[in-house]
């Protein structure tokens, strides 16, 4: 008699945040879409006890973990962290073998980590028949990053990876963790270009945590729970109460960025792509001048995109490198790519890579029997 081994596969995408950067940990709004690049985790029951074996197709390596201890920032932590978070929440995950394969670019600001975490949560939910809710799946995935790896990221990326729908952007209210699907289907004469600026972004290097701490300190000075509580109309008075110039810049970014997310939703609902573009570029200027998270490669990509006829362009994701998005007339894509390549060469930057994307679907789980 052949034995039946059950195996579950979780597949979850990276994301592009259209607008709403560094607003998520301020209880604000974000508007991501899911990419057509995904992380895949194959989960099957392991041997004895609670041993977790994790392998990576890309790295060609594996680890065997007898005990899961939060704190170590290794490649396998995004996967082990989800097992740990599930166990911590009382779910009986015993010995398990987990195999990772992913085509989400690393360090591109496209949430490769959240894609891995969410794929792991989906696979384990399916394999162990946990029947987790969408919010539970997102929350154990986020816990892997925040509590197992100790990276203080907000709630956006995991919900984007899990909850996005094809042809829609996800308007996420990061205070209530409720979401609304906003139609996002580009007309054929418009293209969403993605520029890999060849300057990898890193969340674990301290810049991200410092931005977050600065927002929390400013919120305390203003006597609000989070900067979300400052409305755009209240901004001038709030800024006048801040004596620290850095706090002034950070608060101005967060409050105006929240307003831009809601304005972008209104523009999308009115089919006003020119207005969407202007909001994207304004968001970039705010990240550059007030939040101070851009770098010369991304600023140059935005400048060249706008000069090439883009309706708007901005860096997406945590910052300090990564990916620039440009909303571009489709007929200008080739000329933009050429102009950008030449501009990067003139500045001595590595050759950028330009691709295009559309709004894809969020994560799914599959059950396999063999």
Q: Does 153 bind ligand GAF (CB under 6 A)?
A: yes
CA distance 2 to 260: 59
Which segment (93-101, 154-162, 267-275, 334-342) binds ligand GAF by CB under 6 A? 154-162
- Restricted to residues 21-40, the positions that interact with ligand GAF (CB under 6 A) are 21-22, 24-25
Taking CB under 6 A as the criterion, the residue among 13, 28, 32, 154 binding ligand GAF is 154
Secondary structure in 3-state letters for 325-346: EEEEEHHHHHHHHHHHHHHHHH
Residues present in the chain in total: 370
Q: Starting from the edge strand earliest in sequence, which strands make up the sheet with 168-173, in order?
A: 29-30, 168-173, 178-183
Work out which of 28, 318, 321, 322 binds ligand GAF, going by CB under 6 A: 318
Q: Give the SS3 label for residue 45.
A: strand
157 part of the active site: yes
Q: Which of residues 188-217 bind ligand GAF (CB under 6 A)?
A: 203
Radius of gyration of the chain (CA): 21
* Listed residue (169, 205, 196) closest to 184, CA to CA: 169
Site string for ligand GAF, 227-266 (x = CB under 6 A): ----------------------------------------
Nearer to ligand GAF, 264 or 337 (CB): 264
What residues have CB less than 8 Å from 255, skipping those under 6 apart?
A: 227, 230, 231, 232, 235, 238
* For ligand GAF, the closer CB: 317 or 352: 317
**Smaller CB distance to ligand GAF: residue 75 or 330?**
75
Catalytically active residues are: 157
**Contact positions toward ligand GAF, by CB under 6 A?**
17, 21-22, 24-25, 111, 153-154, 156-157, 203, 317-318
């Amino acid at each position: 008699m052949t034995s039946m081994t059950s195996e579950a596969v979780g597949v979850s995408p990276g994301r592009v945040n259209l607008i709403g950067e560094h607003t998520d940990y301020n209880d604000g709004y974000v508007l991501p879409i899911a990419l057509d690049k995904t992380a895949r985790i194959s989960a099957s029951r392991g041997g004895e006890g609670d041993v977790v074996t994790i392998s990576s197709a890309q790295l060609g390596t594996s680890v065997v973990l007898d005990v899961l201890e939060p704190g170590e920032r290794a490649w396998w932590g995004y996967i082990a962290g989800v097992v740990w978070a599930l166990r911590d929440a009382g779910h009986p995950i015993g010995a398990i073998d987990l195999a990772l394969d992913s085509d989400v670019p690393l360090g591109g600001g496209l949430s490769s980590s959240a894609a891995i975490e969410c794929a792991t949560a989906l696979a384990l939910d399916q394999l162990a028949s946990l029947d987790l809710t969408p919010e539970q799946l997102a929350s154990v995935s986020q816990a892997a990053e925040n509590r197992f790896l100790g990276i203080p990221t907000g709630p956006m990326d995991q919900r984007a990876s899990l909850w996005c729908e094809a042809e829609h952007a996800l308007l996420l209210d990061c205070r209530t963790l409720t979401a609304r699907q906003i139609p996002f289907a580009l007309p054929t004469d418009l293209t969403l270009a993605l520029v890999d600026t060849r300057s990898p972004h890193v969340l674990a290097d301290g810049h991200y945590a410092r931005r977050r701490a600065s927002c929390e300190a400013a919120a305390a000075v203003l006597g609000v729970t989070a900067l979300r509580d400052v409305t755009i109309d209240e901004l001038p008075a709030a800024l006048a109460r801040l004596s620290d110039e850095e706090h002034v810049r950070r608060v101005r970014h967060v409050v105006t960025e929240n307003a831009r997310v809601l304005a972008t939703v209104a523009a999308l609902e009115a089919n006003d792509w020119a207005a969407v573009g202007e909001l994207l570029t304004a968001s970039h200027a705010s990240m550059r001048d007030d939040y101070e998270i851009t770098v010369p490669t991304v600023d140059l990509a935005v400048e060249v995109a706008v000069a090439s006829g883009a309706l708007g362009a901005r860096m997406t994701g945590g910052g300090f490198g990564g990916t620039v998005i440009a909303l571009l007339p489709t007929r200008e894509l080739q000329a933009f790519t050429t102009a950008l390549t030449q501009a990067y060469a003139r500045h001595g930057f590595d050759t950028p890579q330009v691709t295009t994307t559309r709004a894809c679907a969020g994560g799914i789980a599959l059950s396999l029997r063999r």
